Structure 1
């Protein structure tokens, strides 16, 4: 496997995770009653959409094909499936807990990719920025969870 293909494969895994997170956040925003939580979830969805655009651009830069938004890996899909099941109950604390769990999974994936010391500086910088934003979202969601419990 060539170096550029290896990088693109890693970025595609993160791309799929971001597509799924964006959809999960949009579903969460539609479900909760709290205006504050609606705004929080919509902002996270927009953020994840931006991450996906940046990842797509990098993948294309390496001459590889970005995955489509419709292609979800089984694990990624399951991460948000339980969140969707919670929507019918409109339990804001449970929805926040599931969002935190999904973000913690994303954070782990980013950390795993960032362990690769052969990443080009532009990719490393982009992924570090995404990782930091995901960590900030986790921290904010935990504060919001305390407020609704």
Structure 2
């Protein structure tokens, strides 16, 4: 039996889906930019999101929640398709990819903040989510900084 309420379970599964989508998006971005530095950054972020998935799955199964194995959400697939389209028509592919990364990170931050407002989360879950949110916030700030460099 899960220690989470149904609404909380849905939100946590949403974060898991977001981590999968972000991993796929960062991998796609790494393959679309020419800059080796940006490729490394995007690959690092993809690996980080893969770690997020593992941490979330471990935490949620430890709390008795059934974890859905994701192959990606419709929303994530649409965002990756938008990245492709934007890169195709943009003269500054790298700037466009950074903008999309920033946009995705902003939405992720909002999702994490929404889940962290839950009052029924155990301390260990709050810790995992807070650490992940902080890393996303650092990524968002870095994407802002890099985008402003163009």
Establish whether TM, by shorter chain, passes 0.5. yes
Aligned to 1:38: 39
- TM-superposed deviation, 1:5: 4.9
Task: Identify the range of structure 1 (138-147 vs 76-85) with the bigger mean alpha-carbon deviation.
Answer: 76-85
> Who is 2:80 aligned against?
80
Deviation for aligned residue 1:10: 2.1
Question: What SS does the corresponding residue of 2:4 show, helix, strand or coil?
Answer: helix
Aligned Cα root-mean-square deviation (Å): 1.9
TM-score by length of 2: 0.89
8 Å CA contact retained: 1:28, 1:87:
no
TM-score (norm 1): 0.89
2 CA distance for matches of 1:16 and 1:9? 10
Unaligned runs of 5+ in 2: none
In the other structure, the counterpart of 1:131 is: 133
Q: Which runs of 5+ in 1 are unaligned?
A: none
On the 8 A contact 2:20/2:53 being kept in 1, the answer is yes
Superposed, 1:49-128 pairs within 5 Å as 49-72=50-73, 74-89=74-89, 91-128=93-130
